[in-house]
Structure 1
Amino acid sequence: MQLRKTCFVGLISLALLSGCSWFSGEEDVVVMSPLPKVDNQFQPTEVWSKSVGNGTGEFYSNLHPAWQDNRVFAADRRGTVKALDIDTGKEIWSADLSEKTGFLSSNLPALLSGGVAVADNRLYIGSEKAVVYALSADDGTVAWQTKVAGEALSTPVISDGLVLIHTSNGMLQALSQTDGAIKWTANLDMPPLTLRGESAPVTAFGAAIVGGDNGRVSAIMLAQGQMIWQQRISQTTGATEIARLGDVNTSPVVVNNMVYALAYNGNLAALDLRSGQIAWKREVGSVNDLIVDGNRIYVVDQDDRVLALDIQGGVTLWTQSELLHRNLTSPVLFDGYLVAGDSQGYLHWINTDDGRFVAQNKVDSSGLQSKPVVAGGKLLVQANGGEVYAFTR
């Protein structure tokens, strides 16, 4: 179970903590695996590090950097947004999105949450206050800001002149990339109890493909916001409320007219892009984004096993089980290796051929929860405390 995730009923937020027994009356103690001993085949090199505000602290957040050309863009939860030089980490500009109160020079935090996205010389970011911001990539000035239907927990996705936001109350909204005007809203429906966090959509052939808290994957027309198809990939029958959570919080992946999607307590499924029909499914659950590369799918499951699966039917090729319950980030492929961070601040580098560890390095004692970002020949990592690091192999 992901310790960093939270679920909510109505307006009441509860932390999903191991050992708690709100629903079953029984203790379910989860023990974090000890740090594996790794004989490093190479030493990852820290090129630079730079503080971006106060980070996210103990709050669950999907905030992670983005990059374009020679600049890295990163933000903290309070509202600081910075542009950094990708080679040196030197600050190019800094903006503050916190709300000016005029009282004793205090500001209300913006509560940025949804990860930074950059496109066409603008960066986009959402907040827990249900606001989406568009900033100039040149100097950080706000081009527009729009109130959306709910907390903007997903990373914005820019496509066909639209900024797509999946909000915490189950709405997918399309905003004009030009001025932020809301073009359409699609209701994805949601159950009374869900994990905190939302799937960022992926776009393909004029459609947005997105996972929902109801365990379904939906295809929606970008032009009008009309539903094309929906397919349930999670049908949970657990004995407790938590065991029956079936959110599709991961971002789908589209490859060769197939949609690959992953649910918590559910399945990894391959769906036909045109019809939504299931080609195959495999019982694997997660809240971490998956990777499709060639004929393989890489997954970090909800117990923090790292799996390589065959793309044709989900057959397991290898499993790495030495990181159980270390609260891994979503993995990325970097320089031929699979890389994931953990809640104690380590990066784990894994051989994609056999799942063996090839390197390990301590990044930051505040821990890691957002996935690393590959920026050309560098790996960007944002720690919970607000420090952004750039590594090379």
Structure 2
Amino acid sequence: MQSKYKIPFTIAVLAFAITGCSSNKIKVEKVKPNPLPKLAQSMSLAQVVSHKVSATDAEDPLRLKIASEQGVLFILDPKGTVSAFQGKQRLWEKKISKQGLSSGVAAGNGIVVVGNKKGQIFALDQATGAEKWTAQLSGSLISSALVQSNRVIVVANNGTTYGLDDATGQQVWTYKLPGEQFSLRGQASPVSLDPRTVLIASSNAYLYAIDSLSGTLRMQRRVAVSDGRSDIQRLIDIDGEPTVAGQFVVTTSYQGQVTVTDLASQRVVWSEDSSSIQRPEVAGRQVIVSQTDGKVVSYDLLTGQVLWSNDQLLHRNLSNPVVLGQHIVVGDLDGVLHLLEPSTGNIVGRSKSSGEVRNLRVLDNQLYAVTRTGALSIWQNR
């Protein structure tokens, strides 16, 4: 069996910054992040509440993704605990894994689902935190599951996609994704297309549509290509979740392209060179991408035309972009939340959280920001 190697994102990036100073010396050029730009006007967000869990390692792909159901927030602690909050009130807390947790949180059909690096997946009762079932899978779990159509759908780090019965954890189906010898240490979470279809993105730059109940393949489509010469230069993983916008699905890839695919015809509408490991955002006719170099770019959803590009945040390790009210928000390595004007891309404000921002999400007009230091803060417009 061919060996596979998972490469931390920071190592892959550093590989491009190595230069030979002599026959015996190698110099690694450190790229400094852009300083924060001065703002002509400075808007800010109001923090509503904050919670704290354990920090993650700098090389860990875990983005501490949260889940929310009926106003209850479910949070994972990397040391092995899951908690439920309603506002500032903690409803329950459950220690479930001595090996820690690494997958992010999924919730649906009355259960909360988390997993760890040993391939164990746990389902807890949403109301009480009581453990309902545990299953052992074939690979480590570093991305959130999806709960839909009486199935828990999860992708192990070895490329095996599982469909488990959500009531018992029993394996109903599996689908093995083609793998690459080298890939980034990350995995996009499954995304619901409709109640019977789940979208899976893979390290070989393909998008797969799979029947949620049976595991039958309904579509596969290559959405990015690479022309690199070395193994690292040919890395083309899709680590950010695809974004569904009506009949279109938007994908980003590392060292590849941002691509819009028409799901009805299964044809690529347009594709433009762009490197990103983050989920793209769609706002009306705009596709917004935070690139690995720190540039934020807006494209027309139907044509791929670049509407604007902002390079003021270069090398600041940007999070995924989201739309909050009348602004686009991205987080950075210093915990700064930047507010961008959607029509121009100009930065019009900022707020400060604690630690490198790993994941942003908007629920009920509130912004949820999760950082590598384990801080979860909830914000809203002033």
What's 1:250 paired with?
240
Report the alpha carbon displacement of residue 23 of structure 1 after superposing the two structures with TM.
8.8
What's 2:85 paired with?
84
1:382 corresponds to which of 350, 366, 370: 370
1:236 aligned counterpart, secondary structure: coil
Amino acid at match of 1:98: S
Cα deviation, 1:268-323, whole Å, max 9, x if unaligned, reads 22223145322221112211001122211111112121111101121100111111
Give the conservation status (yes or no) of the 8 Å contact 2:6–2:185: no
Q: Distance in 2 between matches of 1:186 and 1:261?
A: 21
**Change in 2 beyond 3 A, CA 1:40/1:55:** farther
1:135 corresponds to which of 109, 112, 124: 124
What are the within-5 Å matches in structure 2 for residues 268-347 of structure 1?
268-347=258-337
Q: Distance in 1 between matches of 2:326 and 2:181?
A: 42
**Change in 2 beyond 3 A, CA 1:235/1:373:** closer
Query: Within the alignment, does 1:44 sit opposite 2:45 as a pair?
Result: yes
Cα deviation, 1:6-36, whole Å, max 9, x if unaligned, reads xxx7367556335446998675543311122
Task: Provide structure 2 residue ranges, at least 5 long, that are not aligned to the other structure.
Answer: 21-25
Q: Distance in 1 between matches of 2:321 and 2:262?
A: 25
Give the conservation status (yes or no) of the 8 Å contact 2:159–2:177: yes
Query: Within the alignment, does 1:16 sit opposite 2:10 as a pair?
Result: yes
What are the within-5 Å matches in structure 2 for residues 1-393 of structure 1?
10=4, 16-17=10-11, 18-20=13-15, 27=28, 29-52=30-53, 54-58=54-58, 59-86=60-87, 89-99=88-98, 109-110=99-100, 112-205=101-194, 206-364=196-354, 366-369=355-358, 371-393=359-381
Compute the TM-score of the two structures, normalised by the length of structure 1: 0.88
Amino acid at match of 1:56: T
Report the alpha carbon displacement of residue 147 of structure 1 after superposing the two structures with TM.
1.3
Q: Distance in 1 between matches of 2:235 and 2:83?
A: 36
2:32 aligned counterpart, secondary structure: coil
Give the conservation status (yes or no) of the 8 Å contact 1:67–1:118: yes
What's 2:23 paired with?
none
Compute the TM-score of the two structures, normalised by the length of structure 2: 0.90
Moved more, 138-147 or 252-261: 252-261
Q: Distance in 2 between matches of 1:316 and 1:266?
A: 16
**Change in 2 beyond 3 A, CA 1:14/1:200:** closer
Cα deviation, 1:308-343, whole Å, max 9, x if unaligned, reads 110112110011111111111111111221111111
Report the alpha carbon displacement of residue 193 of structure 1 after superposing the two structures with TM.
0.3
Q: Distance in 1 between matches of 2:224 and 2:36?
A: 32
**Change in 2 beyond 3 A, CA 1:250/1:15:** closer
Moved more, 127-136 or 188-197: 127-136
Report the alpha carbon displacement of residue 67 of structure 1 after superposing the two structures with TM.
1.8
Amino acid at match of 2:367: L
Task: Provide structure 1 residue ranges, at least 5 long, that are not aligned to the other structure.
Answer: 1-8, 100-108
Cα deviation, 1:125-165, whole Å, max 9, x if unaligned, reads 22222122111121211111211221112211122111111
Amino acid at match of 2:334: Q
Amino acid at match of 1:131: Q
Cα deviation, 1:350-374, whole Å, max 9, x if unaligned, reads 111111112111211x3222x1222
Cα deviation, 1:188-209, whole Å, max 9, x if unaligned, reads 1111100111122223243222
Cα deviation, 1:214-236, whole Å, max 9, x if unaligned, reads 11111222232122232222221
Q: Distance in 2 between matches of 1:190 and 1:31?
A: 34
**Change in 2 beyond 3 A, CA 1:281/1:48:** same
What is the percent sequence identity of the aligned residues?
26
Q: Distance in 2 between matches of 1:249 and 1:362?
A: 26
1:372 aligned counterpart, secondary structure: strand
Q: Distance in 1 between matches of 2:76 and 2:70?
A: 18
